Chains A and B, each alone.
Chain A
Amino acid sequence: MGFANLVNHQIIKGLLFLAVEVGYIVFMALKGVSLIQGLYTLGTKKEGWVTQPGQLLPVLQKGDNSMLFLIYGVAALVITGLFIVMYFVNLSSARKLVSDRAQGRRPNHFKQDIKALADEKFHGTMLTLPVLGILFFTVLPIIFMILIAFTNYDSHHQVPGNLFHWVGLSNFTDMLGGNAVLSGTFFHVLGWTLVWAFFATFSNYFLGIIVALMINKKEIRFKSMWRSILVTTIAIPQFISLLVMQNMFNQFGPINELLVALGFDRVDFLVNNATNARIVVLVVNLWIGIPYTMLITSGILMNIPNELYESAKIDGASAIQAFFKITLPYVLFVTAPYLITQFIGNLNNFNVIYLLTGGAPSTTDYFQAGKTDLLVTWLYKLTVNNYEYNLASTIGIFSFIICAIVSLLTYHNTASYKREGDFQ
């Protein structure tokens, strides 16, 4: 690599290309090949006492760490990928040199190349760091976790000490029916996740619009005061308001004290009663979510041309008809992408569930999950409490598939996607 540049007097550029190539070859020879091999075997030596031939006593053999084999192997693959990208950059640079020469132009000087980074190549300058960040802290971990879903890295195969191996699709088949407890849990949790996402999204959306309409009504005064009161809750960090809510709904919390004072019995809101807990998380989610919808939609509502309402009134439409025929279609049209993001956000709404109920009430019918657990909170518990990494990864892949289906079905049909670039 870099030969074409060197011949054409682009010394620095050529040397840089050469350095990359040499660096990669040295890396592969010293480390890379064995790292990629490790990716295939995931380690062969188990930790334990081994008697070497010719020795009398067994010695403690340090085992291989399958986890590190996997992670370094993937990193070696990513580096190889980057090298291939560099190779193509080199080729295109050489091609440009050839065409420059054919047209009798002088090849770019190194200084000119650097200058181009602030202009024609500005995208490269600006994207490099963010892309590297994404590559190493989003893409690499995701590839890694996808691979984990095809291994038996569970609580019985913990590293260091034990090895884990490739097991093909067995985690997926277990989850979909091969293992009765597991698949039972999966489908129940999945069902509740979908129900939750649907109700959480639409209840917030419609009630938020109604609140915004009420505040926007022209007879109502102190508009900014009402708005500020609701916005207060957006400003409080969510984990604080959720922990506070958990205490409010506690068996001895203020709400129960109020019920007792009014002569009712204490209600078990969060701990043992599945129906109550599910209702409470939805209600608390309203408390969290309505202000957002209110804030977003009030601006949009003010944009609706007033003539529409006036002519509807002349035609004899009631306020409710006007809401469903004018307001809602208009707001829906503008906020469709927001609605989709909200739905997907709710499918993965970790905070509300985990900080309020922690998934409770727990049940022995489920594998390490409770009645209010979503797929994500189940995933989290399997990872942090139970070390069932392979199952957690499998669930992650399933929830990715669900999100992808939802987005594909809806996102491409929204106006704002189709009109991307209309402004320009």
Chain B
Amino acid sequence: MKHSGMKTRKILSTSLIYLILIIISVLWLIPVLWVVLTSFRQEPGAFTSNFIPEHWTLDNYKNLWTNTVYPFKDWYINTFWVACCTCAISTFFTLSVAYVLSRLRFAFRKPYLNVSLILGMFPGFMSMIAVYFILKAVGLTQNLWALVIQYSAGAGLGFYIAKGFFDTIPRSLDEAAKIDGATNAQVFFHIIMPNSGPIVVYTALMAFISPWNDFIFANIIMGDNYNKWTVAIGLYQMIQKNNIYNNFTQFNAGCVCIGVPIMILFFILQRFYVAGITGGAVKG
């Protein structure tokens, strides 16, 4: 009797968990669904009283890419270009700093660790105006290189996760190589890199995604030169008060055009991402 009671309780708790998980899934998917549905909606305007469009259309996508009012295509290409350059430069910076701090011992090491900890505590864009003036002094404002420089320049401070990963690669590997006469550079390129697939992919993925996300710096650096905007500024401006009625469905189409590729990229690389963020933690 008691046994079957426990069994019922177990079934009850399992079904309760299923119920909660279903509710959570719905809550998490509804906003996504809403964006996708709205992007196919024919009725103009920001808000309609029905969740599902009355008339379906592909015009929002067509208008988004071909219209003459705002250059969404340019924004997309700009962002892609900036993302690729940033990805290459800052991945290299981050990984080399992480390797050096993890493996080599030199006088400057402890100070570097402490200073980077302190620098990380300043609000990132407290200094945005100063960065703007520095870029202006070298004549780079309203230029895509300015964004690449700004996104990559700080990469040497984001080494924590990669360093944690390198710390877990056994030292015996490099020592064996060194006995065979390898230099530190060879150890880095031939031993550490091939053994760090997940963290390389993770670092590159993060560096690639950040330009799609950044609104603050891009906005300040590009100002009103809308041909050089990135998608983040563009989409933000599209739904400001004056524009929202005309642009809202196209805004949603834009969100889909940005969200879907990044989502696919993310799902393909998900296991690297998990390995990246849990890095040392799981192994420790």
Contacts and interface: CB of A to CB of B under 8 A. Distances in A.
B250 interface: no
Contacts of B137: 68, 71-72
Contacts of B50: 257
Interface string B124-156: 111111110110010000000000011011111
Interface in A112-154: 118-120, 122-123, 125-127, 129-131, 133-134, 136-142, 144-145, 148
A303 interface: yes
Contacts of B262: 235-237
- Bin the interface of chain A by size: 35 or more
Given A237-B258, A344-B121, A134 B157 contact: yes
Interface string A275-314: 0000000000001000110011001100100000000000
B196 interface: no
B25 A229 contact: yes
Contact of A138 (B10, B154, B277, B278): B154
A295 B28 contact: no
Contacts, number: 256
B58 interface: no
B88 interface: no
A421 B167 contact: yes
Contact of B185 (A68, A122, A376): A122
Nearest to A226: B21
Interface in B17-33: 17-18, 20-21, 24-25, 27-29, 31-32
Contacts of B273: 295
A418 B258 CA distance: 42
A161 interface: no
A118 B155 contact: no
A234 interface: yes
A142 B216 CA distance: 17
Contacts of A257: 47, 49-51
B168 interface: yes
A240 B259 contact: yes
B77 interface: no
A176 to B, nearest CB: 19
Nearest to B185: A118
B130 A145 contact: yes
A416 interface: yes
A231 interface: yes
Given A240-B258, A296-B278, A299-B274, A140 B130 contact: yes
A251 B106 CA distance: 59
A70 B274 CA distance: 45
B193 interface: no
B128 A130 contact: no
Interface residues of B, number: 92
Interface in B96-141: 96-97, 99-100, 104, 106, 108-109, 112, 116-119, 121-131, 133-134, 137
Interface stretch (A22-30, A46-54, A399-407): A399-407
Interface in B63-109: 93, 96-97, 99-100, 104, 106, 108-109
A396 B126 contact: yes
B122 A142 contact: yes
Interface stretch (A36-44, A101-109, A213-221): A213-221
A238 interface: yes
Interface in A318-359: 334-335, 338, 344, 348, 350-351, 355
B278 to A, nearest CB: 5
Contact of B153 (A138, A239, A421): A138
A137 B149 contact: yes
A76 interface: no
B282 to A, nearest CB: 5
A239 B232 contact: yes
A86 B181 CA distance: 31
A232 B25 CA distance: 10
A126 B96 contact: yes
Most A-side CB within 10 Å, residue of B18, B112, B121, B280:
B121
B14 interface: yes
B131 A141 contact: yes
Contacts of B97: 126-127, 130
Interface string B7-18: 000100010011
Nearest to A129: B93
Contacts of A291: 28
Contacts of A71: 130, 133-134, 137
B65 to A, nearest CB: 18
B126 A254 contact: no
Given A257-B47, A334-B284, A245 B118 contact: no
B47 A253 contact: yes
A8 interface: no
A353 B129 CA distance: 21
Interface stretch (A12-20, A55-63, A377-385): A377-385
B123 A399 contact: yes
A416 B153 contact: no
B270 interface: yes
9 contacts: A71-B130, A119-B184, A130-B96, A226-B21, A226-B25, A229-B25, A247-B239, A254-B34, A254-B51
A-B pairs, 8 with minimum CB distance? A130-B156, A141-B127, A396-B126, A141-B130, A137-B153, A133-B153, A122-B184, A235-B266
Interface of B: 10, 14, 17-18, 20-21, 24-25, 27-29, 31-32, 34-35, 46-47, 49-51, 93, 96-97, 99-100, 104, 106, 108-109, 112, 116-119, 121-131, 133-134, 137, 149-150, 152-157, 167-168, 171, 183-186, 188, 209, 212-213, 215-216, 220, 232, 235-236, 239, 248, 255, 258-259, 262-263, 265-267, 270, 273-274, 277-278, 280-282, 284
Given A133-B153, A226-B21, 8 more contacts: A131-B156, A136-B134, A137-B134, A141-B128, A145-B129, A231-B266, A236-B259, A407-B121
